[in-house]
């Protein structure tokens, strides 16, 4: 039998065996991890200035079970460099038609926020995680600043 218990330290699964003992638990500070991995405009010879997010994917991971509980993806229409380079299309696998049908970054942020609300994550203790700081602290931060977009605070955690 498994259930989640809230402790003063974090969240842990309670694995009760037939003998009644707890085992196999690991404390976690967060209930959920929201994993993001943006793709942005790019070129082989020179990075476009400014770079813009063209894909906004997110996966919701339960920190206790390690299970993926949902995913979100939308394509974002770049405004400064609306035509993707051949290099960018080959590297990311994203096609011109996908970004042409995409939404603005501000709309993508609203859609993502509503998805987190729908999944019930915003009422929990969660963290946005990435492979490196490029996604949130560099790319998202700089594009939001450039376009005067207010990004949700949870991207700063």
- Tens-digit pLDDT profile for residues 90-147: 999 999 999 999 999 999 999 999 999 999 999 999 999 999 999 999 999 999 999 9
Structure tokens at 24: 């196999």
% residues pLDDT > 90 (the chain): 78
Structure tokens at 151: 């990004």
- pLDDT classification of 25: cutoffs 50, 70, 90: low
DSSP string covering 77-122, please?
--SSS-SPPHHHHHHH---HHHHHT-B-HHHHHHHHHHHHHHTTGG
Angle, alpha carbons 67-156-101 (nearest 5°)? 70
pLDDT higher than 70, residue 10: no
In our burial notation (b when 16+ CB lie closer than 10 A, e otherwise), range 91-104 reads ebebeeebbeebbe
pLDDT higher than 50, residue 2: no
Structure tokens at 22: 């707890």
Pair 87, 42: CB distance under 8 Å: yes
Q: Which fold has domain 31-156?
A: Nucleotidyltransferase; domain 5 (3.30.420)
* SS3 category, 73: strand
pLDDT value, residue 156: 87
- 119 burial class (0-12, 13-18, 19+ CB within 10 angstroms)? middle
This prediction's pTM: 0.82
User: What mean pLDDT is predicted for residues 4-24?
Assistant: 48
Q: Give me the residue spans of the domains in the chain.
A: 1-29, 31-156
């Amino acid at each position: 039998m498994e259930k989640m218990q809230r402790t003063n330290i974090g969240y842990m699964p309670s694995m009760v065996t037939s003998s009644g003992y707890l085992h196999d638990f690991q404390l976690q500070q967060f209930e959920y991890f929201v994993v993001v991995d943006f793709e942005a405009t790019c070129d082989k010879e020179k990075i476009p200035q400014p770079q813009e997010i063209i894909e906004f994917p997110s996966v919701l991971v339960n920190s206790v079970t390690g299970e993926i509980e949902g995913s979100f993806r939308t394509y974002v229409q770049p405004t400064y460099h609306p035509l993707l380079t051949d290099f960018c299309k080959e590297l990311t696998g994203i096609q011109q038609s996908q970004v042409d049908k995409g939404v603005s970054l501000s709309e993508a942020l609203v859609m993502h926020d509503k998805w987190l609300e729908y999944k019930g994550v915003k009422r929990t203790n969660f963290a946005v995680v990435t492979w490196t700081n490029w996604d949130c602290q560099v790319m998202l931060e700089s594009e939001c600043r450039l376009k005067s977009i207010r990004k949700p605070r949870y991207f700063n955690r």
